[in-house]
Amino acid sequence: MRRLIHLMLSPSCRLARLMVAEKRVACDPVMSDNPKQSMPVFQDMDGTCAEGVWAILDHLEHHYPDHPLAPADDAARLGCLRWVDWAMGPFHEQVTQRIVYEKAAPRFTGAAFSRAPDMNVIRSGREELKAALKAIGAAAESNGNLACRETTLGDLAVAAHLSALDYFGEVPWTDFPAAAEWYVRMKSRPSFRSLLADRVPGQPPVSHYAELDF
């Protein structure tokens, strides 16, 4: 049986879970008991072990070419990859780390630190999130999804981060209806079902987390 070893609130792990599901690859998700190990890890039927989200992406695209995660069109593919780069770089550093990593225990994110939440850090992340939601909404209104009309790896990467933030009720959806409409479409995809079923012991999600509308 294939296995995907992951951390529940790590955005890169959430992206890996979405990628595997979008590929329609049957896989047994396993929570890691070693947050210091490089995560996520995909173990295939033949014993291949891909460590890290980019190695998993390469493995899935090469060995499971059905349901490609990036569009064939050059312009759309470049746009898709720009959103991936933004999600896993600036958005991760300026928003996710400042909010999710402050609120969640390191064993669920892989964070290297453990301390009481710093509200100044969280507030700075919230301000950055507002600007990000405006950009996400504008792209979705213009393109149908973020890079183009079809759902791509770029959408999955951004949605992976937002799903972790939304677990804590940190996304002001009512102030950004275009971004909210796009995210409702994303969380309604079958690939999102396992993420919406997540429950951190002793730290349940906000009431709307698993709802398919706000």
Query: Which CATH number fits the domain that encloses residue 172?
Result: 1.20.1050.10
Domain assignment of residue 183, yes or no:
yes
Domain assignment of residue 101, yes or no:
yes
What is the DSSP pairing of strand 3-6 with strand 41-43?
antiparallel
And the tokens for 59?
């493995």
pLDDT at res. 114: 67
Domain assignment of residue 55, yes or no:
no
Domain assignment of residue 33, yes or no:
no
Domain assignment of residue 103, yes or no:
yes
3-class DSSP state of 4: strand
pLDDT at res. 69: 96
- Within 10 angstroms of residue 8's Cβ, the number of other Cβ atoms is 22
Give me the chain's average pLDDT, please: 94
pLDDT at res. 213: 76
Say how far apart CA 207 and CA 158 lie, in whole Å: 22
pLDDT at res. 214: 67
For 187, counting Cβ atoms within 10 Å of its Cβ (0-12 exposed, 13-18 middle, 19+ buried), the class is buried
Domain tally, the chain: 1
Percentages (nearest 5) of helix, strand, coil residues in the chain:
55, 5, 35
**183 touches 162 (CB < 8 A):** yes
Q: Which residues in the chain show pLDDT less than 70?
A: 35-36, 112-114, 214
Domain assignment of residue 46, yes or no:
no
pLDDT at res. 149: 96
**95 touches 132 (CB < 8 A):** yes
Domain assignment of residue 38, yes or no:
no
Domain assignment of residue 58, yes or no:
no
Query: What b/e readout covers 152-180, taking b as 16+ CB neighbours within 10 angstroms?
Result: bbbbbbbbbbbbbbbbbebbebeebebbb
The boundaries of the domain holding residue 136 are: 74-192
